[in-house]
Amino acid sequence: MNSIESLTLDFNAQISELGKINNDKISDNLIFVGSGDSYVAGLITEYLTHHKCRCYSPSDLFGSELSRDWTYCFVSVTGRTKANISVAKRASQAGSKTVAITFNENSELAKVCDKIIQPNLKRAHTPTAGFGSFVANAVTCLQVAGITVPNKFDKWYQNTVKISKNVLESVVLPVDTVFVLGNDTLYPLALYMSLQMAEFFGTTVVAHKLEEFCHSPVFGVRNAHQLVILGQKEKSIAQKLGKLDLKISYIELYNQDILSQLFESIFFVQNLMILLAERYGSTELYYRMSKHALKVSSEIIY
């Protein structure tokens, strides 16, 4: 089974498992720390708590004084990333409460934290962390911050399949550079989409907040580039950007229920990657075939 096939199975299998995740609120003062997809999971919670919780990359905290007034939640599927472990040790030494949100209870990260929370998800066998582990981490972060996530994953999944099929033709790969844009809670999803497109296709992808993009990055866009806008009733902005003769794909993801919008958006991004891989005949994740870059990346991260 190739890596795209295994991720397709993982995408479908997660729906029956996510509703089993159940965690209690642990604190009002939470700082989530993570890299890559794990950072996105924490950032989602920051936005949905209206920034009462915070989220940082571990590198943001290398030179920072860590506070006893906050509980630091380190999000990592493997529990092996050196930067997370380093900051977790410093937080413990500072007398802060530390929590490891990880699938690996025997990891170094789990050992240095006061508490371990394992997302209750039966994971499909994939060559990567997988789609399900990301959504499980997102659900776990929301729950420990006190947000109740209803078990509507099947409904959100069904809605998403329709959305992604409807917009598939408007997303074109490969292109020189893709800018993925979203305001507010859809900014973390723009970031997530940028990470997925880079790993799936080796595409140069830049995520921006939609409003911020119009202040300066817009001047660096060329006709060979593409804009993908994750919108919340912001079609008028896309139309104005269209006056610049740019390739634009506007995807309306607004839902008055913020959790429905969030999870439909997550599943949309995941299913779109699978559909694009099918369209372009991709059978393996690009980064898995980039052996030299993968080796360098692993040496730095682990």
Q: Flag whether 128 is in a domain.
A: yes
CATH of the domain at 233: 3.40.50.10490
Are residue 170 and residue 221 in the same domain, yes or no?
yes
In a domain, 129, yes or no: yes
In a domain, 301, yes or no: no
Domains: count for the chain = 2
| 291, part of any domain | no
Residue 248 included in any domain? yes
* Res 174: pLDDT: 66
- pLDDT reported for residue 125: 63
Please write the tens of the pLDDT for every residue from 194-219.
Answer: 999 999 999 999 999 999 999 999 99
Residue matched to tokens 């919108």: 231
In a domain, 185, yes or no: yes
pLDDT digits (tens, 9 = 90+) for 237-255: 999 999 998 889 999 999 9
Residues 94 and 161 both lie in one domain: no
* Pair (214, 201) in one structural domain: yes
Domain termination site, one of 150, 175, 202: 150
Q: Which residue has the tokens 């033709």?
A: 169
Structural domain ending residue among the three candidates 122, 150, 178 = 150
**40 Cβ contact list (under 8 Å, min separation 6):** 134, 138, 188, 189, 191, 192, 195
CB atoms within 10 A of CB 283: 11
Tokens of 58: 């571990």
- Do residue 215 and residue 84 come from a single domain? no
Q: Where do we find the tokens 């949100």?
A: 101
Same domain, 10 and 105: yes
3-state secondary structure string across the chain: CCHHHHHHHHHHHHHHHHHHCCCCCCCCCEEEECCCHHHHHHHHHHHHCCCCCEEECHHHHCCCCCCCCCEEEEECCCCCCHHHHHHHHHHHHCCCEEEEECCCCCCHHHHHCCEEECCCCCCCCCCCCCHHHHHHHHHHHHHHCCCCCCCCHHHHHHHHHHHHHHHHHHCCCCCCCEEEEECCCHHHHHHHHHHHHHHHHCCCEEEECHHHHCCCHHHHCCCCCEEEEEECCCHHHHHHHHCCCCEEEEEECCCCCHHHHHHHHHHHHHHHHHHHHHHCCCCCCHHHHCHHHHHHHHHHHC
Task: Give residue 111's pLDDT.
Answer: 96
Contact assessment for residue 249 and residue 227, using Cβ atoms and an 8 Å cutoff: yes
Query: Which positions ≥6 away from 99 have C-beta within 8 Å?
Result: 26, 71, 72, 73, 74, 113, 114, 115, 116, 117, 144
Instruction: Find the domain containing 54 and state its range.
Output: 3-150
Residues 168 and 96 in one domain: no
Domain boundary among 131, 150, 169: 150
Q: In DSSP terms, which residues pair with 181 in a beta bridge? A: 208, 229
Confidence at residue 165, expressed as pLDDT on a 0 to 100 scale = 81
Same domain? 9 vs 90: yes
Q: Is residue 292 part of a domain?
A: no
Question: What's residue 19's pLDDT?
Answer: 94
Q: Are residues 271 and 172 in the same domain?
A: yes
Residue 208 near residue 217, CB atoms below 8 Å: yes
The verdict on residue 298 lying in a domain is no
Is residue 20 within 8 A of residue 44, CB to CB? The reply is no
Same domain assignment for residues 127 and 208: no
Query: What pLDDT was estimated at residue 51?
Result: 97
Same-domain status, 169 and 125: no
Q: What tokens appear for 72 in the block?
A: 């630091």
Q: Could you tell me if 134 and 174 lie in one domain? A: no
- Where the chain has pLDDT below 70, the residues are 123-129, 174
Strands of the sheet with 54-56, listed across from one edge:
54-56, 30-33, 71-75, 97-101, 115-117
142 and 161 in a common domain: no
